[in-house]
Amino acid sequence: MIFTSIDFIVFFVFILGVVAIVKHRKFQHLILLGGSYYFFYFSSNYLIVLLIFSTILDFYLAKLIYSTDNIFRKKLFLIISLVGNLGLLGFFKYSDFAILQFNILGNYFDLGTNIPFINLILPLGISFYTFQTISYTIDVYRGTLKPSKTFSEFALFVAFFPQLVAGPILRAKQFLPQLREKMEDYEINGNIRRILFKSANVKFGITLMAFGFIKKMFFADNIAPLVDDIFFNPIGAESFTIILGALAFAVQVYGDFSGYTDIAIGAALILGFKIPANFNKPYFATSPTAFWNKWHISLSLWIRDYLYLPLVFKNRKSPLRIFLGLMIAFMLIGFWHGDGWNFLIFGILQGIFVGIHTMLRSKIPFLRNHKFFKTKFGKISSILVTQYLIFFSFLAFRISDLQHLFYSMEKYLILDFQITETIFIIQSHKLSIGLMILFMIIHFISFRKGNLVEVFSKLNYKYWVLFLTAGILAILLFYDGNPTDFIYFKF
């Protein structure tokens, strides 16, 4: 069930209405749980059993971990959790990729027999809810979290439909306390106490969802044809065409993914739950490290807390250990996105960028303290260099064919100063180019003026309704009527 479909709008309004009618908090949670399972079943059919399996596995293993003082048993239960969850993720997501590599190797050594592909359907959201349940079990193992009291409570944490399919990746310590709070006052930027359907929450949530729909349906989906045209077969393309494609994809993927996140967070807020932000103006980051503090924040923090810090814990002062830890972390981030060598290349590039930046800042005080980097020109220069590198790595994110990828990377880095084809592309995709420019202007205004969602949500109702109406008309005017999947549904 895609957020941008009529099916979701009807479903969400129905769930909202039923929850509003039912006043008892536990019944509200059960309705949300049932609705979340229906939402997942509607999209994935029988693959819902995998979601339920992960939920049952980690609910009971966490209780076993918490109930014993025996270190060996604790580790054993944790290993079972990791093997069970990562085993499912690996089998469904990477089986055919592994078979392909074995077949290539077999053909190289002329073994004569190929292993047949399994052709499994990738379960929707498995990369997200698997990481959620793993973090829960690890937190219980570390003693930083008590296990959930009831199965239904934990199941709702795992299956909560707004963020189930494409995040943000929730932590149990962020979500479970909200289920246990009484219906008290809730501040958007304050604590986790909440009251269902508080007018400020509803208005802010609707505004956030509207921004999400506009980002996805008005901007990202209308920029996609330009990106597809350039990267369908980039062999022979000019350097500026490749750079234009990289820039267009950067706008598309940000509008698409942050649009999903806005809808998810807005829907959750209307229902009375706070989900952490997943983006914070990443294209104004002044370094690769800062970029990953602003882009897909929930994944970055998950990798930091559950992989990177344990890797470097014993020797945080070793530059080699830090660099290797960063490389391993970002290689996992890359491979988490998909079963292709291009995603591994994406992770390696990010690891190199962040690793080199970390090493330079720690070893060269000039780069850390010099006043040049605090000037306006210094900040602008840092932003431009950072985004040039980030958009370069996005080529690996977008292009799966390695021949096409390496050609595009070469053209991106070594300019040929030809513009004939680039001008033709621009003339052929005037709408996409115009929307790219408009998106970047709005993004810049948001960077300069603060949170535009908050600004629009505080408008009086007359102007607020006018904004919503304008957003709906803009979408309808340029929408072809066929809802397209969000990019991160593939992961």
Active site (catalytic) residues = 337
C-alpha span between 124 and 422 (Å, rounded): 37
C-alpha span between 213 and 472 (Å, rounded): 9
C-alpha span between 248 and 228 (Å, rounded): 10
DSSP 201-228: HHHHHHHHHHHHHIIIIIIIHHHHHHHH
C-alpha span between 465 and 333 (Å, rounded): 40
The angle, 0 to 180 degrees and rounded to 10, between the axes of the packed helices 420-428 and 221-231 is: 150
Q: Which amino acid is at 290?
A: A
b/e sequence 237-260, b meaning 16+ C-beta within 10 Å? bbbbbbbbbbbbbbbbbbbbbbbb
On the 0-12 / 13-18 / 19+ scale of CB atoms within 10 A, 133 is: buried
What one-character DSSP code corresponds to residue 143?
A: T
The separation between CA 458 and the C-alpha centre of its own chain, rounded to angstroms, equals 28
What torsion do the CA atoms of 456, 488, 401, 351 make, to the nearest 10 degrees?
A: 80
From the CA atom positions of the chain, what is the Rg in Å?
23
